[in-house]
Structure 1
Amino acid sequence: MAAVSLLICDDSTMARKQLLRALPQEWSVSITQASNGRQGLAAIRQGLGQVVLLDLTMPEVDGYHVLAAIRAEGLQAQVIVVSGDVQDEAVRRVLSLGAVAFVKKPAEPAELRRVLAGCGLLVPSPGPFSPFPGADQKIGFHDAFRETVNVAMGRAAALLAKVLGVFVQLPVPNVNVLEVGELHMALADAQVGDQLTAICQGYISAGIAGEALLIFHDSSLADMARLMNREYSEHSNMEMLLDLSSILIGACLSGIAEQIDVVFSQSHPQILGEHARIDELIRGNQLRWKKTLAVEISYSLENHDIHFDLLLLFTERSVQRLTSKLDYLMT
């Protein structure tokens, strides 16, 4: 029996490696990999994607657009979405666009096998079996940690979506080691001449420490208050932002901790630089930040003029511990 042409489409090398390791070893497949939706569509058009394992959050062309293009062009591909965006609405949308199933990241081998078998896609090979090409590829720290953050980000968004009754639009997270000056530059786009309010919350585990900074544009506060059925006032706004910070920061840190098997202790959130501009926020904290492993996630709420940026700033010393915790994923 001819091998099934399988396309794995994900911008993360780490995610693609995890999928290769999770595939049933007896599955008779020929594998193609794509690092974004544009490459993925080109492969499908060439007949290299009878079955597609598709990520949603990707640069250039995301998974939603890939699904829409497959339907519009009448391409022959059975798509299983494998994503860290686990919002109920995300699952509903991909199924309505023609995906045959949804699997949350990181895909567990047993769950992936169950889904493939349930969709009638698991065609066994007579053997002997050997690891799929690329399953043993060595992964760099940044890619492994960015994928870990991506999964945590999706879980945090799902919780926020349930609390607010909205669809949270997710970006590709940025992960970089930055000097404080570089951090200022990285946040320049977040300012856009706007006034900002930031919530700061420290966190610590064995060998890992840092600060989470959740930055709100003041122009979004009135819309946020209406969405949460709150009275728009100085006092209630601060309570509202503290509540949202607890949800987002706590869920994101919890998602990271679960994947790398640590437990974070968190300090009480504090309002930092209320109604300050971003340069004032950074200048006031540059002695503490210096060099940092910076994770930047820009959230926005669909159909609302509401945007906020979550920064996770890990101390330079945390990198060694994080590397050791991720080592089993990278090798």
Structure 2
Amino acid sequence: MSTKVLICDDSKIARKQLTKMLPADWDIELEYAQDGQEALDFIASNPVDILFLDLNMPVKDGYQTLEALQNFPSMPNVIVVSGDVQPKAVQRVKDMGAVAFMKKPALADALRDTLLSLGLYSKAKTTEKTSSAVTRSVVDDFSLSDGLQEVSNIAMGRAASVLADMLNVFIKLPVPNVNILEVGELQMALDYGVKGDSCSAISQGFVGSGIAFETLLIFSDSSFPDMAKLLGVTEEITQEIETELLMDVTSVLVGPFMAAIGKQLNIDFSHSHPVLLGQHVKIPDIINVKKATWKRTLAVEIVYEVENYQISCDLMLLFTEDSVPTLENLLSFLVEEDE
């Protein structure tokens, strides 16, 4: 009898990558869901043996899905496959009933070993592909936005894990937003993402293999007291100390993020020194500083929040228009079909 498998991930590319990593000789009936609610609705009316579950999704995320599954008469074997590799995230999902955790992108050998160790898959007696294995690789078409969102999602998780370890906290991660923005739209996006009336911002330039972009990290000013507390700063928070805190957290977030992006695209990015754009300023003031150079840009936005603390920062990647064709070409290699 075929094993009934459901892959739940909002990313078309992630669904396709994971599908390609499943054992080719595994006799399965494979279905897909784009968010946790869609997965729950499917499981409510269809028996599912194994659920591969992402964590950062719209509508209902992986944590909410796991919580809801505990009320089902029969819970499938849940294997979380996520870019959020914080140790507290791994422990949290296992406490909620997940039988295993795998980091994105899952590798075929590691996935096979995990399935074997859990007794969810046994090696077939023949090496011929089953009919289900042949047809299950068909996944929806994807766009530049899909690809950039997925590589950003993985990079976001790597950076959050480093920051979480540094502060001994849990970082709440969103679904990255990817959009082509004019300067005015960029200001609206930042106004929405940044909490508080004033903020502080740091920018840094990156270039490599025909791709050029700038990172912009914006901190709500309300974040400083808790940030200082977590970093063990006991003296009065002066502007100089704030600048040091900004640079420390920028290094921790941007460095691992860019390393993960570069690894996925096979690029070694060179970078400029981080530049302080302003402290205790309004969003329009930051936009005005860079208005002449930003104009129309491909933007990736990620809002990091620290659970149980008033700490929030907005990380944006602003790509030049000239970078888009090269970026699109590189991302397409991530989802090429096996020959």
TM category (shorter chain) comes to over 0.9
The answer to whether the aligner puts 1:316 opposite 2:321 as a matched pair is yes
Asked if the contact 1:295–1:311 (Cα under 8 Å) also holds between the matched residues in 2, the reply is yes
Give the superposition deviation at 1:137: 4.5
Where do 1:94-173 residues align within 5 Å? 94-123=93-122, 127-129=128-130, 130-135=133-138, 137-173=140-176
The counterpart of 1:186, out of the listed 189, 206, 216, is 189
Asked if the contact 1:174–1:296 (Cα under 8 Å) also holds between the matched residues in 2, the reply is yes
Where do 1:224-239 residues align within 5 Å? 224-230=227-233, 231=235, 232-239=237-244
Show the counterpart of 1:329: 334
- Unaligned runs of 5+ residues in structure 2 are none
C-alpha separation in 2, matches of 1:124 and 1:284 = 60
C-alpha separation in 2, matches of 1:267 and 1:239 = 18
Structure 1, 101-110 or 316-325: larger mean CA deviation? 316-325
Give the superposition deviation at 1:136: 5.8
CA distance 1:70–1:284, change in 2 (3 Å): same
Give the superposition deviation at 1:290: 0.9
- Unaligned runs of 5+ residues in structure 1 are none
Show the counterpart of 1:28: 27
Show the counterpart of 2:302: 297
Structure 1, 251-260 or 186-195: larger mean CA deviation? 186-195
The counterpart of 1:246, out of the listed 251, 257, 265, is 251
Give the superposition deviation at 1:240: 1.0
Give the superposition deviation at 1:247: 1.1
Moved over 6 A (4+): none
CA distance 1:49–1:204, change in 2 (3 Å): same
Aligned pairs, number: 330
Give the superposition deviation at 1:300: 0.4
Asked if the contact 2:54–2:81 (Cα under 8 Å) also holds between the matched residues in 1, the reply is yes
C-alpha separation in 2, matches of 1:201 and 1:71 = 45
What TM-score, normalized by structure 2, do the two folds share? 0.94
Asked if the contact 1:28–1:123 (Cα under 8 Å) also holds between the matched residues in 2, the reply is no
SS at match of 1:317: helix
Q: Deviations over 1:139-162 (max 9, x none)?
A: 211101100100000000001011
Give the superposition deviation at 1:66: 1.1
C-alpha separation in 2, matches of 1:141 and 1:186 = 20
Q: In the alignment, residue 233 of structure 1 is paired with which amino acid?
A: T
C-alpha separation in 2, matches of 1:82 and 1:191 = 29
SS at match of 2:134: coil
CA distance 1:156–1:128, change in 2 (3 Å): closer
CA distance 1:136–1:76, change in 2 (3 Å): closer
The answer to whether the aligner puts 1:78 opposite 2:83 as a matched pair is no
Structure 1, 301-310 or 183-192: larger mean CA deviation? 183-192
Q: Deviations over 1:265-313 (max 9, x none)?
A: 1111111022110011112211110111101000000110110100111
SS at match of 2:17: helix
**RMSD between superposed Cα atoms in Å:** 1.4
CA distance 1:261–1:8, change in 2 (3 Å): same
What is the identity percentage for the equivalent residue pairs of Structure 1 and Structure 2?
A: 45
Q: Deviations over 1:162-191 (max 9, x none)?
A: 111100000000011111111112122134
Q: In the alignment, residue 185 of structure 1 is paired with which amino acid?
A: M
Asked if the contact 1:44–1:50 (Cα under 8 Å) also holds between the matched residues in 2, the reply is no
SS at match of 1:39: helix
The answer to whether the aligner puts 1:206 opposite 2:185 as a matched pair is no
CA distance 1:211–1:128, change in 2 (3 Å): closer
The counterpart of 1:197, out of the listed 200, 207, 215, is 200
The answer to whether the aligner puts 1:276 opposite 2:281 as a matched pair is yes
Q: In the alignment, residue 175 of structure 2 is paired with which amino acid?
A: V
